[in-house]
A and B are shown apart, each in its own frame.
Chain A
Amino acid sequence: MGFVWHIAVRYFRSTRADAHIRALSTLTAGGLAVGTAALVLALAALAGFQNLLLEDLARHTPALQIEFGRGAAVEGESATEGARHLAELAAATNGVAGVQELLYARGWLADDDRPLAVEVLGYEKAPPPWIPVQPEATSGLIVPVSVALRMGLAVGDIVRVVSPRPGLTPVGPRPRVRTLPVDLIYRSDRAENADDPVLLPLEQASALFARGDRRLDLTLAPEADPERIGDFLRRGIDPAVAMVTTWRQANRALLFVLRLEKGLVFSAVALIVAVASFALLAALSMVLSSKRAEVGVLAAMGAPPARLQRVFLLLGALLSVGGAGLGGAAGAGLAALLDRYRVISTPSDVYVVDYVPFLVRGTDVLVVLAVTVLFTAAAAVIGARKASLLHPVEAMRSART
């Protein structure tokens, strides 16, 4: 054991002997334990909620799409050729398991009584994976349960799909209409399901909504990273022709708010750790005050100021590491228990789960511990600096006065 450890460990033990220092050091350790536990718990609760939300988003949002509007043609090629080239480029990209063209539009669904404005999605091969139905093409309509309920539809019913843009005929403009059977009704289970689309084959959709919004929808391999593939595709596609969007970019406003929320909660709860660090500074100052003469003797015997400073830095670490470690472990353990036994319940009609989920992330715990170390180190540095600035003669004289 080196000199610094030798002295710091002995001074740490001596903090148990003095009632005032013991009270302060206990307060420090307790404060740090409460602070780190509260931080870990708060982050675990946020991570639990956000994780569910992101899983829901990822399940119901296209992982990666290439949006090309009504044409993807570069000079000298037709729109169809342009789209085909984009599809070939995407399909050849590592990590892309499948590519199909989609058409987004807004139209009406009409039965005998009334029309209902709906989002329409035309698919080329099969319903995309982010729509929770069997990935098999049908010739008719796939209708979300929200639309089916409002129109009183059941599987097998016949409805008309109407385009808002009429077609021109020799006898004047006539509405574009397709009469199709309802083949499937699906439930999306999304937290917000107001805009679940009505699906129909691309061929039918193209005939009705020629000016719809066309996109290539990419199905990715299970381990593929949408952002990395998106970056790769962006390098190969002229941004004037088409736009590559990942699910994170499509939801970037929400993701920003989630990050902001996490940052604000973290900052607020971290104040507990900051206050505990003040207690650490007070404890160190008290130890230094009681050891003032001894520090002077050590300096007189040739201990350099830098090593005396390190003694008190290490003492600060010893006073804080137990509390921070205990708090981190307690916070993580409590979060795991609260999640395992679903202790805190929430109204099931408000959110997708009926309990408060907790998710302890290793990175979150590390960040909490790092912040705790930062606060306590700042406090310890101030205390340790005082020790290094002591004048040996003055310090030793204090023992006699």
Chain B
Amino acid sequence: MIAVSGVTKAYQDGAVRRQVLRGVDLVVARGETAAIVGPSGSGKSTLLNILGALDTPDAGSVRVDGVDLTASRPSALAGFRNRSLGFVFQFHQLLPDFTALENVMMPGRIAGRPTSSLSALALALLDQVGLADRAGAFPQQLSGGERQRIAICRALVLEPAVLLADEPTGNLDSRSGEQVLGLLDTLRRRRDTTMVLVTHNPEVAKRCGAVLRLDGGSLAPG
């Protein structure tokens, strides 16, 4: 589960100090889905980065899957991200020098998993999203929807406890976006994964168990 308490975060923007998060509290139980909505620049991605141990809060505590992220060393956080978190980014962020299959296998390679079993697992996932025949293709040879589906496979390959998705459909047409959301939901249910999703899209937010609005640096039911 995710438990965030009193998190604040500010950025120095030239001479101006911009307070992005002001005492954010958030609890997402295991297997639940929460959508964070809010206007651009409200701090949605910052909060997601803090939940994903990619950024640190100025104050407050963050516990994800039983780990206190604010008290862990960077090297431990890297291991935690690899082991317990899956990321889906708005711009898929696939590695262009690697095939679809290799991209899906990448978290497992970082974890040092044996290549043969990892390859079988990744292929099975690609098969589930209907891209088994595209396993050898490079990202630049794939459509936007295909890339995002591969990014989802990559996020789920190590069966993480928590999935963090930042505008996963923001760059897709409505049909591809619908496909991606359906896929996320199916895979999440199958694995009882906790999910936090950042979106601008009210339709996407409606599909989640809880909707939270981030505005003025504070989080409130949306």
Q: Which of A13, A294, A307 contacts B95 (CB 8 A)?
A: A294
State A396–B54 Cα separation when bound (angstroms): 11
A396 touches B78 (CB 8 A): no
Q: Answer yes or no: A11 CB below 8 A from chain B CBs.
A: yes
Given the complex, which residues of B lie within 8 Å of A297, measured CB to CB?
89, 93, 95
Q: Which of A11, A14, A305 contacts B74 (CB 8 A)?
A: A305
Q: Which of A6, A300, A305 contacts B87 (CB 8 A)?
A: A300
Given the complex, which residues of A lie within 8 Å of B96, measured CB to CB?
294
Q: Answer yes or no: A226 CB below 8 A from chain B CBs.
A: no
State A14–B96 Cα separation when bound (angstroms): 10
Q: Categorize the interface residue count of chain A.
A: 20 to 34
- How many chain B residues touch A (CB < 8 A): the figure is 29
B97 touches A303 (CB 8 A): no
Q: Answer yes or no: B217 CB below 8 A from chain A CBs.
A: no
Q: Answer yes or no: A76 CB below 8 A from chain B CBs.
A: no
Given the complex, which residues of B lie within 8 Å of A301, measured CB to CB?
81-82, 87, 106-107, 110, 154
B93 touches A399 (CB 8 A): yes
CB<8 Å pairs between A and B, sample of 18? A3-B110, A6-B109, A13-B97, A14-B97, A294-B96, A294-B97, A297-B89, A300-B87, A301-B81, A301-B82, A301-B106, A301-B154, A302-B78, A304-B75, A304-B78, A305-B75, A393-B55, A396-B89
Q: Which residue of A lies closest to B86 (CB)?
A: A301
A396 touches B110 (CB 8 A): no
Q: Least Cβ distance of A5 to chain B in Å?
A: 10
Question: Is chain B's binding surface mostly helix, strand, loop or mixed?
Answer: helix
Given the complex, which residues of B lie within 8 Å of A304, measured CB to CB?
75, 78-79
Type the 1/0 row for B93-123, where 1 means its CB is closer than 8 Å to any CB of A. 1011110000000110111100100000000
B55 touches A10 (CB 8 A): no
Residues of B at the A interface (CB closer than 8 Å) are 49, 52, 54-55, 74-75, 78-83, 85, 87, 89, 91, 93, 95-98, 106-107, 109-112, 115, 154
State A321–B107 Cα separation when bound (angstroms): 29
Given the complex, which residues of A lie within 8 Å of B79, measured CB to CB?
302, 304
Q: Which of A11, A14, A393, A400 contacts B91 (CB 8 A)?
A: A400
Q: Which residue of A lies closest to B94 (CB)?
A: A297
A300 touches B81 (CB 8 A): yes
> Contacts A392-B54, A399-B91, A400-B91 known; A302 to B107 CB distance under 8 Å?
yes
Given the complex, which residues of A lie within 8 Å of B75, measured CB to CB?
304-306
Given contacts A1-B115, A301-B87, 20 further A-B contacts (CB under 8 A): A2-B109, A3-B110, A3-B112, A6-B109, A10-B97, A10-B98, A297-B93, A298-B110, A300-B81, A301-B81, A302-B82, A302-B85, A302-B107, A303-B82, A303-B110, A304-B79, A307-B110, A393-B55, A396-B93, A400-B91
Q: Which residue of A lies closest to B46 (CB)?
A: A393
Q: Least Cβ distance of A282 to chain B in Å?
A: 21
Q: Which residue of A lies closest to B83 (CB)?
A: A302
Q: Answer yes or no: A293 CB below 8 A from chain B CBs.
A: yes
Q: Least Cβ distance of A284 to chain B in Å?
A: 16
Type the 1/0 row for A1-30, where 1 means its CB is closer than 8 Å to any CB of B. 111001000110110000000000000000
B112 touches A393 (CB 8 A): no
Given the complex, which residues of B lie within 8 Å of A303, measured CB to CB?
78, 82, 110
State A306–B73 Cα separation when bound (angstroms): 14
Within 8 A of B (CB), among A352-395: 392-393
> Contacts A3-B110, A3-B112, A396-B89 known; A299 to B78 CB distance under 8 Å?
yes
Given the complex, which residues of B lie within 8 Å of A300, measured CB to CB?
52, 54, 81, 87, 93
Q: Which residue of B lies closest to A295 (CB)?
A: B95
State A387–B16 Cα separation when bound (angstroms): 29
Q: Least Cβ distance of A22 to chain B in Å?
A: 15
State A1–B96 Cα separation when bound (angstroms): 19
Q: Which residue of B lies closest to A11 (CB)?
A: B97
State A302–B112 Cα separation when bound (angstroms): 11
B110 touches A302 (CB 8 A): yes
Q: Least Cβ distance of A302 to chain B in Å?
A: 2
B81 touches A393 (CB 8 A): no
State A306–B74 Cα separation when bound (angstroms): 11
State A243–B89 Cα separation when bound (angstroms): 82
State A300–B55 Cα separation when bound (angstroms): 10
A3, A10, A300 interface centre (most CB from chain B within 10 Å): A300
Given the complex, which residues of A lie within 8 Å of B95, measured CB to CB?
294, 297-298
Q: Least Cβ distance of B20 to chain A in Å?
A: 13
Given the complex, which residues of B lie within 8 Å of A307, measured CB to CB?
110
State A304–B74 Cα separation when bound (angstroms): 8
B82, B89, B109 interface centre (most CB from chain A within 10 Å): B109
State A377–B54 Cα separation when bound (angstroms): 30
Given the complex, which residues of B lie within 8 Å of A6, measured CB to CB?
109
Given the complex, which residues of A lie within 8 Å of B87, measured CB to CB?
300-301
Given the complex, which residues of B lie within 8 Å of A11, measured CB to CB?
97
Given the complex, which residues of B lie within 8 Å of A299, measured CB to CB?
78
A305 touches B112 (CB 8 A): no
